[in-house]
Structure 1
C-alpha cells in the first residue's frame, strides 16, 4: 500500500516575498474513530471489545495523570508523550512568576517502530481528488 499525495502550489512561509513553488501534500483518508480502533483491536486479538475499551480508557486516564505530574510517558515502540511550555522570558530568574506561562502543550516523539515506518513508506502521486482510492 502506498501513501497518496498530490502536488499543490504554496508560498514559502519563511519568506512570503519569494515566488510560489509546488510541494507534495499528503491526501489523508477519513479519520479512524476511537470506537473503530477498539473494534479493530478486538478483531485482531483475543480480547473482546469491552476489555480493549476498558484498557485503552484506563491507559488514557493514567497518561493524563502522569503528564500532570510532569512525567514523560514512554509507550515502548509507540513513542513518548511529554509536556512543553510556552512562556514569556524575563531578565532574571527571581523575576519569574507562573503567570508568565501562556500554555502547556502535549508533544509526541515517535518510537523506533514508527520512525522505521516513516522511512519505509512508498508514495503514489494522485492527480485529482477523484483518483483517490477509498480507505480500507
Structure 2
C-alpha cells in the first residue's frame, strides 16, 4: 500500500495560477541493505542471506565498473542503467576540457515490469506529516484539539516536505 497526503501547491511557472491539490507519497520505511537482502533470501529459499548479499554487492561493484567504462547495462526486467554528465560551459570548444565536467549521474530507465506500477498499487490517504506530528504532540500533552494552521506555519524539514 502507498500512503499519500494531499497538499496545495502553486505552479512555480505560473505566478497567477491558483493553488491546486496534489498527492504526495509518504515513505513508511527505508529498508537497509541487510533488510532487503534478508527479504530476497526469504523469498528464494535456495540461497542463504550471505550468498544473496555477496551477489548483490558484487553486482553493484560490477555495475559501477561497467558504467564508468561507458557502457549501459540492461538488467532484465528491472531496467537499464546508464550515465549522464553535467558540465560547466566553456566559451569555445577549444577551451572545454574534462575539468569542466562536474558530475556523473546514474540514469535508470525502468523495465516493462516497472514502467507503471499504478495498475498494481493500492492507495491509502493519510494526514500530512505535519498534521501527524501536531496530533501526536497534542495527544502527549493531554490536549483535546489540534491547531493545524499553527502547525503548518512552522518551518518544516526537507524530509517532511518530500515525504521521506
Asked if TM exceeds 0.5, the reply is yes
Q: Which runs of 5+ in 1 are unaligned?
A: 131-136
Secondary structure of residue in 2 paired with 1:59 = helix
Larger mean Cα displacement after TM superposition, 92-101 or 11-20: 11-20
In structure 2, C-alpha distance between the alignment counterparts of 1:110 and 1:120, rounded to whole Å: 16
Report deviation, 1:90: 4.1
8 A Cα contact 2:6 2:128, kept in partner = no
Q: Which residue of 2 aligns with 1:10?
A: 9
Does 1:102 find its partner at 2:84?
no
Q: Which runs of 5+ in 2 are unaligned?
A: 133-164
Corresponding residue SS for 1:94: coil
C-alpha deviation, 1:116, in angstroms: 4.2
In structure 2, C-alpha distance between the alignment counterparts of 1:118 and 1:52, rounded to whole Å: 29
Q: Are residues 1:35 and 2:34 paired?
A: yes
Look at both structures and tell me which one has the larger radius of gyration over its CA atoms. Answer: 2
What is the aligned partner in structure 1 of residue 84 from structure 2? Answer: 84
User: 4+ residue runs of structure 1 moved beyond 4 angstroms?
Assistant: none
- The one-character-per-residue Cα deviations of 1:45-73 (angstroms, maximum 9, x if unpaired) are 11111110110111011011111111111
Q: What is the count of residue pairs matched by the alignment? A: 129
Give 1:96 shift: 2.0
Give distance in 2, aligned partners of 1:44 and 1:121: 20
Taking the TM superposition and a 5 Å limit, the aligned residue runs for 1:29-68 are 29-45=28-44, 46-68=46-68
* Residues 48/61 of structure 1: CA separation in 2 closer, same or farther (3 Å cut): same
TM-score when normalising by structure 2: 0.69
Distance change (3 Å), C-alpha of 1:32 and 1:71: same
Task: Quickly say closer, same or farther: Cα 1:118–1:90, change in 2 above 3 A.
Answer: farther
Which TM-score applies when normalising by structure 1? 0.81
Q: More strand per residue: 1 or 2?
A: 1
Match of 1:20 in 2: 19
